[in-house]
């Protein structure tokens, strides 16, 4: 139940905007007004700024008691004092239990990203292993995104590399196909994977359906953690094959058993005492934290990933870890066990919330000895090493930015450097891109792509750059007018000499952009890296020492923009190249096109199919079949 709290008497449960007086009270006064109608029930509260931006999200067993603590400003840490001073309104959502409130709080924090909360920096999807169920010969493949209907998923895996390792193992041990249905239906002879013993060749009848189904069942057992029973079964089969003098089959089974054994060589990497668990190891140093997460599924390590949550320097490791775990499981399933290396402030509540989300019990453990402790220590050691690397990179990056400030006469090291580039072929498929560098290196979340809309003369790079800058700074100027300067650049770097510099300078002047240092980086006549000329407008063009680290850094920025422009252009061009004759048939959308390709293998196969074949194709009705047939046979007259 959503409830907005105002200074007027608003009944609980009635959605209403927060009302404030003409004087726009802020801070403690707003909170006190909100407390007049705030219930004592469990729920989630949100502190909002003047522009409606969410400053902070919290949960409580009793909302009124918890929010009352914010009126005692002297007892609050500095971070929350600033939050209270900026609060212009409040909103609440009541829940049935505190566990539900905890789950909702994590969802809000991850979605709204309030700047006074501990934030999980994780905008990537996780790969899964997928086994299709609705095909006589199921396919094994990688999968990202929403679950697919009619398929079984295992995971998540920490990275594409980790899922590829398991996928390769499944191919070696169980010989399952990884090709798409369209490729499967169009094969007339075995592919290379069959030749190197990574596939059983079901596409060309090298294995019958019952035998392939047995391989699929064995793969499911393996993914479910039944390794030992599977290895014993395969060992018995190998001995029987050897006794029957079928040495080729015995050798094949031997190789499959060896591949399985390789996965269980290390008890730390693949712990026998953990079946389904996630291991969280946190390490704090220099006001920053790194959390290393190991994914254990079926007794196997599905990889690990480092996270660097955003928080203030005075946060305790248990508080950071607790907030992180709640947000981490907002959009992914939780295993039966969660291992942590620090006690959590609300461990029982978090366990209850995760159990509620999973539908079964979830244990949060802090092991002190044994194999589980070894795995946890391994995660902590990885977190420590990852944080040390990040701190070293940050320190080196700070020196480079200080050098940039010295070279270009800036008052302070730049916090945001934007680099622009264009890519096209004779004016077609034209794209402009922007990449961003700063104290933490390349900020890939801030990268932007601009499809050139025109009208632009083909090949007119100046006009393309003008369009990109007008679109980029048109929005930036609006944000700046509202007081948001978080995305305002300190340095704007362009690839080009005096001509490009003058053109961009004119665009910025026309837009009224000030306070941005414009720099053009141009290669010399011989176009050798290290001989670049720099154009700043307020001095003669100059060069840096070929061995200057600042020069290397600026080259990296330029080259990264060029790489991003090329890949963006290629991806855009590929979309227009991937077309089919089926795209021009009225009434045939992506779903029916996919069905036709699955049945006939290719657009050519659809073209050559007879009307009766089209009408009998699964998922294709009579009207669609006649439309497809009529498209490829213009002289045909329907009965």
What percent of the chain has pLDDT above 70? Answer: 89
Residue 604 has pLDDT above 90, yes or no: no
Mean pLDDT of 171-181: 86
- Give the range among 113-117, 227-231, 602-606 with minimum mean pLDDT: 227-231
Q: Is the pTM of this model over 0.85?
A: no
Best CA proximity match to 163, nearest among 273, 266, 301, 328: 301
Instruction: Give yes or no for a contact between 623 and 587, defined as CB atoms under 8 angstroms apart.
Output: yes
Grouping H, G, I as helix, E, B as strand and the rest as coil, residue 156 is coil
pLDDT of residue 182: 84
Confidence of residue 321 (pLDDT cuts 50, 70, 90): very high
Lowest mean pLDDT among 194-208, 330-344, 367-381, 560-574: 560-574
Q: Which residues on adjacent β-strands are paired with residue 517?
A: 491
Give Cβ neighbours of residue 369 (< 8 Å, ≥ 6 apart).
none
Looking at residue 42, its pLDDT comes to 92
* DSSP letter, residue 74: G
Q: What is 606-634 written as a DSSP string?
A: HHH--HHHHHHSTT--HHHHHHHHHHH-T
pLDDT value for 19: 37
- pLDDT score of 520: 92
Residue of higher predicted confidence among 300 and 559: 559
Give residue 575's pLDDT: 61
Region 564-588: mean pLDDT is: 73
Average pLDDT over residues 386-404: 86
Cα(204)–Cα(185) distance, integer angstroms:
9
pLDDT of residue 273: 75
Interval 266-280 mean pLDDT: 71
Q: Is 525 exposed, middle or buried (0-12, 13-18, 19+ CB in 10 A)?
A: exposed
pLDDT of residue 172: 82
Distance separating alpha carbons of residues 70 and 76, to the nearest angstrom:
7
pLDDT value of residue 459: 66
CA 357, distance to chain mean position in Å, is 22
**Residue 213 clears pLDDT 50, i.e. is over it:** yes
Give dist(CA 377, CA 260) in Å, integer.
Answer: 26
What end-to-end distance do the CA atoms of the chain give, in Å? 60
The most confident of 507-511, 565-569, 588-592, by mean pLDDT: 507-511
Closest residue by Cα to residue 440 from 268, 310, 271, 255: 310
**Which parts of 522-548 fold into alpha helices (H)?**
none
- Helix or strand or coil: residue 487? coil
| pLDDT tier at 350, thresholds 50, 70, 90 | very high
For 104, 288, 537, 556, 621, the CA distances from 500, given in Å and listed in that order, are 51, 41, 12, 20, 58
pLDDT of residue 122: 66
Separation between Cα atoms, residue 504 and residue 461, nearest integer Å: 11
**417-575 matches 277-388 in CATH topology:** yes
Higher model confidence: residue 623 or residue 22?
623
The CATH classification number of 417-575 equals 3.30.420.340
The pLDDT score that the predictor gives to residue 426 is: 59
Under the banding of pLDDT at 50, 70 and 90, the label for residue 272 is low
Q: Which residue has the higher pLDDT, 483 or 263?
A: 483
Question: Could you state, in order of their start, the residue ranges of all structural domains in the chain?
Answer: 2-112, 128-225, 277-388, 417-575, 581-632
DSSP string, 346-390: THHHHHHHHHHHHSS--EEE---SHHHHHHHHHHHHHHHHHHHHH
The 10s digit of each residue's pLDDT in 22-73 is: 445 678 999 999 998 899 999 999 999 888 889 999 999 999 999 999 999 8
Which residue has better confidence, 600 or 357? Answer: 357
Report the pLDDT value the prediction gives residue 157, as an integer from 0 to 100: 84
Fold of 2-112: GIY-YIG endonuclease (3.40.1440)
pLDDT at 539 > cutoff 50 = yes
Nearest to 237 by CA among 224, 254, 216: 254
Binned at pLDDT 50, 70 and 90, residue 13 comes out as very low
What pLDDT score does 283 carry?
Answer: 93
Q: Whose CA is closest to 247, among 257, 255, 238?
A: 238
Mean pLDDT of 140-149: 83
Please report how many Cα atoms fall inside a 13 Å half-sphere around the Cα of residue 529, on the Cβ side: 10
- Of 407-411, 513-517, 541-545, 616-620, minimum mean pLDDT range: 616-620
What is the rounded distance in angstroms from the CA atom of residue 318 to the CA atom of residue 543? 51
Of the pLDDT bands very low, low, confident and very high (cuts 50, 70, 90), residue 264 is low
Q: How far is CA 505 from CA 454, 466, 516, 517, 593, in A?
A: 20, 10, 10, 10, 50
In this predicted model, which residue has the larger pLDDT, 24 or 194?
A: 194
Q: Which of 258, 252, 185, 176 is nearest to 216 (CA)?
A: 176
Read off the tokens for 542.
């100059």
Determine what percent of the chain falls in helix, strand and coil, rounding each to the nearest 5.
45, 20, 35
- Model confidence at 12: pLDDT above 50: no
Residue 164 has pLDDT above 60, yes or no: yes
Tokens of residue 168, six digits: 């390769």
Q: Which residue has the higher pLDDT, 480 or 560?
A: 560
* DSSP state, residue 116: T
Which pLDDT does position 310 carry in this prediction?
83
- Confidence band, pLDDT 50/70/90 cuts, at residue 236: confident
If DSSP codes are grouped into helix, strand and coil, which group holds residue 185? Answer: helix
Tell me the average pLDDT across 140-157.
83
Mean pLDDT value across residues 568-592: 71
DSSP string, 279-294: EEEEEEETTEEEEEEE
What confidence category does residue 383 fall into, taking pLDDT thresholds of 50, 70 and 90?
A: very high
**Most confident stretch, 128-137, 346-355, 480-489, 584-593:** 346-355
pLDDT of residue 304: 85
Whether 80 has a pLDDT exceeding 70, the answer reads: yes
| 3 has pLDDT over 80 | no
Architecture of 581-632 per CATH? Orthogonal Bundle (1.10)
CB 491 within 8 A of CB 404: yes
pLDDT range class, residue 270, cuts 50, 70, 90: low
- Residue 280 pLDDT greater than 90, yes or no: yes
The H-or-E segment that residue 431 falls in is strand 428-438
pLDDT at res. 20: 35
pLDDT score, position 18: 34
Predicted pLDDT of residue 47: 92
Contact 439, 402 (CB under 8 A): no
DSSP annotation of 475 reads H
- What's the confidence (pLDDT) of residue 535? 92
The residues facing 296 across adjacent strands are 277, 301
Question: What phi and psi, each to the nearest 5 degrees, are found at residue 288?
Answer: -125, 165
Q: pLDDT at position 21, please?
A: 36
Average pLDDT over all residues of the chain: 83
* CATH number given to 277-388: 3.30.420
Reported as a pLDDT band with limits 50, 70 and 90, residue 579 is low
């Amino acid at each position: 139940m959503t409830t907005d709290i105002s200074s007027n008497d608003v009944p609980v449960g009635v959605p209403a905007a927060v009302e404030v007086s003409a004087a726009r009270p802020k801070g403690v006064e707003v909170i006190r007004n909100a407390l007049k109608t705030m219930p004592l029930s469990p729920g989630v509260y949100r502190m909002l700024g003047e522009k409606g931006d969410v400053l902070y999200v919290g949960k409580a067993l009793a909302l009124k008691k918890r929010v009352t603590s914010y009126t005692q400003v002297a007892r609050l840490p500095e971070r929350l004092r600033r939050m209270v001073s900026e609060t212009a309104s409040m909103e609440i959502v009541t829940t049935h239990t505190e566990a539900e409130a905890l789950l909702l709080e994590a969802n809000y924090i991850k979605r709204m990203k309030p700047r006074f909360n501990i934030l999980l920096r994780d905008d990537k999807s996780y790969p899964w292993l997928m086994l299709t169920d609705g095909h006589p010969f199921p396919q094994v493949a990688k999968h990202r995104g929403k679950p697919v209907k009619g398929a079984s998923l295992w995971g998540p895996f920490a990275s594409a590399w980790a899922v590829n390792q398991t996928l390769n193992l499944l191919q070696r041990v169980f010989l399952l196909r990884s090709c798409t249905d369209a490729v499967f239906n169009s094969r007339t002879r075995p592919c290379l994977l069959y030749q190197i013993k990574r596939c059983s060749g079901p596409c060309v009848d090298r294995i019958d359906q019952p035998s392939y189904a047995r391989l699929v069942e064995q793969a499911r057992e393996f993914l479910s953690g039944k390794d030992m029973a599977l290895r014993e079964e395969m060992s018995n089969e190998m001995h029987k094959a050897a006794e029957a003098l079928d040495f080729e089959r015995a050798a094949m089974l031997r190789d499959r058993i060896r591949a399985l054994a390789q996965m269980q060589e290390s008890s730390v990497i693949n712990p026998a005492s953990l079946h389904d668990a996630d291991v969280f190891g946190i390490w704090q140093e220099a006001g920053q934290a790194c959390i290393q997460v190991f994914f254990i599924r079926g007794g196997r390590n599905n990889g690990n990933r480092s996270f660097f949550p955003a928080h203030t320097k005075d946060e305790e490791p248990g508080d950071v870890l607790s907030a992180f775990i709640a947000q981490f499981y907002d959009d992914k399933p939780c295993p039966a066990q969660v291992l942590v290396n620090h006690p959590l402030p609300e461990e029982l509540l978090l366990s209850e919330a995760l159990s509620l989300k999973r539908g079964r019990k979830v244990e949060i453990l802090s092991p002190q000895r044994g194999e589980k402790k070894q795995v946890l220590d391994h995660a902590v050691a990885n977190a420590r090493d990852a944080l040390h690397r990040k701190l070293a990179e940050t320190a080196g990056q700070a020196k480079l930015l200080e050098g940039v400030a010295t070279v270009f006469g800036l008052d302070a090291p730049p916090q945001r450097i934007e680099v622009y580039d264009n890519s096209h072929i004779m004016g077609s498929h034209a794209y402009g891109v922007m990449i961003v560098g700063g104290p933490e290196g390349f900020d890939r979340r801030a990268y932007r792509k601009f499809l050139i809309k025109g009208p632009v003369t083909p090949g007119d790079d100046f006009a393309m750059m003008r369009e990109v800058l007008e679109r980029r700074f048109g929005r930036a100027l609006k944000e700046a007018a509202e007081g948001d300067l978080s995305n305002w650049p300190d340095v704007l770097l362009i690839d080009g000499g005096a001509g490009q510099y003058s053109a961009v300078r004119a665009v910025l002047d026309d837009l009224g952009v000030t306070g941005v240092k414009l720099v053009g980086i141009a290669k010399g006549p011989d176009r050798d890296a290290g001989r670049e000329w720099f154009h700043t407008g307020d001095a003669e063009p100059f060069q840096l020492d070929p061995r200057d680290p600042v020069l290397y850094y600026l080259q990296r920025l330029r080259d990264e923009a060029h790489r991003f422009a090329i890949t963006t252009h290629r991806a855009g061009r590929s979309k227009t190249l991937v077309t089919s004759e089926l795209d021009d048939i009225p009434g045939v959308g992506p779903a029916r096109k996919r069905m036709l390709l699955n049945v006939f293998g290719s657009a050519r196969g659809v073209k050559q199919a007879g009307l009766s074949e089209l009408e009998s194709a699964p998922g294709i009705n009579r009207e669609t079949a006649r439309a497809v047939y009529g498209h490829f046979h213009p002289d045909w007259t329907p009965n």
